[in-house]
Structure 1
Amino acid sequence: MSELDKSLVGFHSSFSPGEQVTGVIISITRDWVFVDVRAKSEGIIPRQELERDGEISVKEGDEITSHFSHQDSNGIHLMVRVGGKDSDQIDEALADAAASGIPVEGKVAEERKGGFEVTIGSQRAFCPYSQIDMHRRDAADHLGRVYSFLVTEYADGNLVVSRRKLMEQEQQGQIEVLKERLQVGEIIGGEVTRLADFGAFVELGGTEGLIPMREMAWKRVETAGDVVQPGQTVQVKILSLDWARNRISLSLREAQGDPWGKAENSYHVSNRYHGKVVRLMPFGAFVELEPGIEGLVHISKLGAGKRLRHAAEVLHEDEELEVYIQAIDIEKRRISLTMENPQLGRTMDVDGAALTVGQQHVGKVEEIRPFGVFVRLTDRLVGLLHVSEVSIDGAVNPGKALWKRHPPGSEVTVVVKSIHNDRVSLMLPDSGDDDSDEFREYLSGSQDDFGSVGSAFDGLSL
C-alpha cells in the first residue's frame, strides 16, 4: 500500500443526514468549534452547543462525537445536541433534527395527560408514556431528568419526541457487538432491571436476558423477589441465545454451582441427616437436606404404622427433623428417606465379625482423637465413637476431655449406630448424634495424619 493509499484510509467522501461522526477538535473560536472529520472540508459545531453555564466543555485535541446535519460552502455542519439555543435558532435546529434523525437534548419538566412535557431550549415538546423508556417505570423516576430524544413530529406547532426510539437504535448497535461476544455456557455479570411473575430480567450491556423462575435458585422460591431485587448485580450463566427473537435465557442457580455435583461424597445410605420439610403431598413429605437437594419420605414411612391419607396429618411445612437415607440415585437426582434407621436390627458381616445395628457391645478404648474415640470391639474390629456422642459440652480441649472420660485401655459400653463400607459408627446408649465440621473434614479424607487406626477409618460417614 502506497503512502497516499495509507493516508486515505478512513477518509470520508460524504455523510448521510443524522449519521454519527467522530473527529478531533482542531480550533475553537468565539462562535464555532472546528473538527477534523477526515473529509475534504472541516466539520463545524456551534460553540453554544458545547457550553455549559457559559463555559466551553471541550478543548483543542479532544475527540468528539456528533451528528451530520448538512454541508455548504462554509463546511460540514455538525450537531452535538439541540437545546440551550436562542429562540431564533431553535426552530431551524429542530427542523434539521426531525429531518435528519439527529438526537436532541431535553429536560422532563412535568407529567401530563398521556405522557410528559419536555423542555428543549425555549420549546416545549410532548413525549408519550410509551416513548419515555423501553420498560415501564414510575413516572416520578423521569421527572427532572435530562435525556436525549429523537424528534418524531415537528409541524404546525406540534413537537413530539421519543427517547425509546433512540434507545432502540443504540441498543441495536450494542446487540451486534454482543452477538460476537456472548457464548452459551458463559458466566457473565449483569444488573437486575425488573421482576415479573415468571422470573427476573437482567441487563447485559445492550440487551436483556431472562432468568426464569425455575433458574432462580436450587431451592424452591415463590417469587423472583425472594432471591433478587432491581438494581442488584448478579452473575448468571447463559443457557440459550435466540438473536432472531432477541431472547436470552439465563440461569442464576447454575452460575452458583450444582449442589448435586458433590452429593455422591456428601450423602450415604443409612446415614442420618438434618432436614426441613418443604412440601407435603398425599404420597409423602419432601425434605430439604440443603438448598437444591431434597428427598422424599414416603407416606408408608410416616405415622408409625398408622394408615395416613396425607403427610400433613403428622408433619407441617418448615418443620425440622432428622431423617435417614434409604436409597439414593445420583443420576436421577432422587433420594428416598425414612424416619427410622434402615439398618436397625440388621446383622452384617464386617471383616469376618457379625455385627447387629442397635446391639450393645463392651469394648476397650484404643485411641483418642479430637473428633472421637476409637473403640476395639474384637481382635480385628475397631469402631469410632464420635465426640458428639459424648457429653463434653464447653470443653476447651475436646481431646483432653475425651481422654479424661474414656482413657485408653478402659472399657466402655457402646451401641452399633451404623455400618458403612465396613466402617463401624458407635454411640453411647441413649445418646444422639451431631457431626461437627472437623469430623466431616476427616470423613472426606482431607486429613491424613491420624495414625494407623485413624487411617483405617478414612472415609467413614456417620
Structure 2
Amino acid sequence: MEFLLAEELNLPTMGETRQGWVIEHRNNAILIDIGAKSEGVISGSELQSMDDETRELLAVGNEVTVYIVNTEDQHGNVVVSYAKAAEELDWTRAEELLASQDVYKGKVIGQNKGGILVKLGQLRGFVPNSQISRRRHFDDNQKNKLINSVIQTKVIEVDRKRGRLILSERAAEKEARQARRAELLASLEEGTVLKGRVINLADFGAFIDVGGVEGLVHLSELSWKRVNAPADILEVGDEVEVFVLNIDQDRERLALSLKRLEPDPWTIIDEYYQVGQLLEATITKLTKYGAFARLDDEYALEGLIHISELSENHVNHPKDVVQQSQTVTVRIIRVDKDQRQLGLSIKQVVSDKFVEADLEKLTTIQD
C-alpha cells in the first residue's frame, strides 16, 4: 500500500537524482519543482559556496538536475542539491572518459607539491607530477603559471567512493603525438627538407624530432666527411635541417640525412684529389681482381687497387700482398667523377713517372 501511495504521489527517495525546474528564488533558498507533492529546496549553505557561473544556471524557468539529500528535514522540506547532482553526473562522465580514453580539456584550478588540480565539472581531478608533460620544465613555484590555463588530459583512475580522480597530461600528449606522427608521415614525401631538433644520440646515429615524429640519421648519413660518432658533430638540443631519405608507412619509420644537404665530394673531387697524389689508405675488402681501400682523410672515399697495381711482380691473389685493415700508402692513378670511381696503386708509389711531381711537392713543403 505504501509503495502504491509513493508511486501515485511520486514521492522522492534519498539518493535519487531527478530532473526539475527552478520556480522561485528566496533570500536563503531556491525552490525546485521536482514533480512531487512538495518542492525541493536548495539550502542557503549550498548557495553561499556557488560561483557566479553556477548561479546563472539556476535562473527561474531553467531545467536542472538535482540530488535528493533528505526527503523531509525538521521543517518538512525536501532538501535537494544541485552540486551533488552535478557531481554524480560528473563522476559518471569521468567513468565514461576512463572507459573511452577520450582526451579531456580542463582548466587548471590549483597546484600543490605533488601536482596540479584540474576541474572536471564539479570535480577536482589531480594530475601528479609524474603525469605532467615532460615538455614543462618548472619547479613547484612555477606551477602557479599554469593556473587558469586549459590543458589536455586523459582520465587514468576513477574511485567514486574514495573521491579519487586521477588525470594524465602525458597520456593525452602521447595520443596527440601519435596522431601528429600519422598525419605527418602521410603528408611527407622523399626528398623533403625539414627542420628538426636532436633528441638522442646513439653509436649508430642521431634521432631527430621533426614536428612530433622521430626520424633516424644513420651514422653514414651524418656527413660526407668521416664521423666516428654522432657526438663528434651533434649535441642533444641542436636545431638542424634534414633531408627525408625514406618513409616506411607500415613500420612508421623515417630515414633522414644531414649529408645530402652538403656538397657531394664527388662533385668537387677535382679540388681535393689529383692523379699522382700520394695518400694513406686502409684496405677494406679483397677480391680476386684487386683490393678496395678507404682513403685516410676527412672524406674517407673508397678506391680500387687493381691486382695489376699491387706489385711489380706477378700476383696470384691480393691476399698475397695486402691484408684487410692494413694501412698502406697509395697513389691516385685515375679519377672518374662521372662513374664516382678512384683508381689507386701501390706499385706506382715509387715510380719514375711521378718523380718530378713528387720532388716538386717535396720542395714546396720544405719551403
- Paired with 1:176 and 1:141, the residues of 2 have a C-alpha distance of 27
Aligned match of 1:431: 363
Matched-pair contact (CA < 8 Å) for 1:236–1:255: yes
Match for residue 118 of structure 1 among 115, 118, 122:
115
- Paired with 1:153 and 1:198, the residues of 2 have a C-alpha distance of 40
Aligned match of 2:105: 103
- Paired with 1:255 and 1:277, the residues of 2 have a C-alpha distance of 27
Aligned match of 1:155: 159
Higher helix share: 2
1:293 CA drift (Å): 2.9
Distance 1:248 1:121, change over 3 A: closer
Matched-pair contact (CA < 8 Å) for 2:205–2:217: yes
Give the aligned residue type for 2:364: G
1:333 CA drift (Å): 4.2
Give the aligned residue type for 1:161: L
- Paired with 2:105 and 2:153, the residues of 1 have a C-alpha distance of 5
RMSD between superposed Cα atoms in Å:
5.1
Aligned match of 1:231: 237
SS at match of 1:260: helix
Give the aligned residue type for 1:125: F
- Paired with 1:303 and 1:91, the residues of 2 have a C-alpha distance of 91
- Paired with 2:247 and 2:87, the residues of 1 have a C-alpha distance of 45
Give the aligned residue type for 1:224: P
Q: Structure 1 length normalisation: TM-score?
A: 0.43
Matched-pair contact (CA < 8 Å) for 1:108–1:118: yes
**Offset from partner CA, 1:210-257 (integer Å, 9 cap, x none):** 212222222343332222222111111111223333221111111223
1:121 CA drift (Å): 5.4
SS at match of 2:104: coil
**Offset from partner CA, 1:281-319 (integer Å, 9 cap, x none):** 8978632344253457799989999x977688877xxxx
- Paired with 2:343 and 2:111, the residues of 1 have a C-alpha distance of 61
Q: How does 1:233-248 map to 2 (within 5 A)?
A: 233-248=239-254
Aligned match of 1:335: 342
Q: Structure 2 length normalisation: TM-score?
A: 0.52
- Paired with 1:264 and 1:169, the residues of 2 have a C-alpha distance of 52
Provide the aligned length of Structure 1 versus Structure 2. Answer: 261
**Offset from partner CA, 1:249-282 (integer Å, 9 cap, x none):** 1111112232222326753322x26x56678889
SS at match of 2:170: helix
SS at match of 2:352: coil
SS at match of 1:103: strand
Give the aligned residue type for 1:325: I
Give the aligned residue type for 1:120: L
1:92 CA drift (Å): 7.0
Matched-pair contact (CA < 8 Å) for 1:98–1:152: no
Match for residue 294 of structure 2 among 281, 286, 290:
286
Matched-pair contact (CA < 8 Å) for 1:108–1:142: no
Give the aligned residue type for 1:233: E
- Paired with 1:244 and 1:312, the residues of 2 have a C-alpha distance of 39
Unaligned runs of at least 5 residues, structure 1: 1-45, 49-71, 76-86, 111-116, 316-321, 347-356, 359-415, 419-425, 435-462
Tell me: higher relative CO, structure 1 or 2? Use CA pairs within 8 A at least 6 residues apart: 2
1:184 CA drift (Å): 0.8
**Offset from partner CA, 1:396-455 (integer Å, 9 cap, x none):** xxxxxxxxxxxxxxxxxxxx428xxxxxxx949x62359xxxxxxxxxxxxxxxxxxxxx
Give the aligned residue type for 2:198: V
Unaligned runs of at least 5 residues, structure 2: 1-50, 54-60, 65-82, 98-102, 314-319
Aligned match of 2:69: none
**Offset from partner CA, 1:81-112 (integer Å, 9 cap, x none):** xxxxxx999967974466454234568866xx
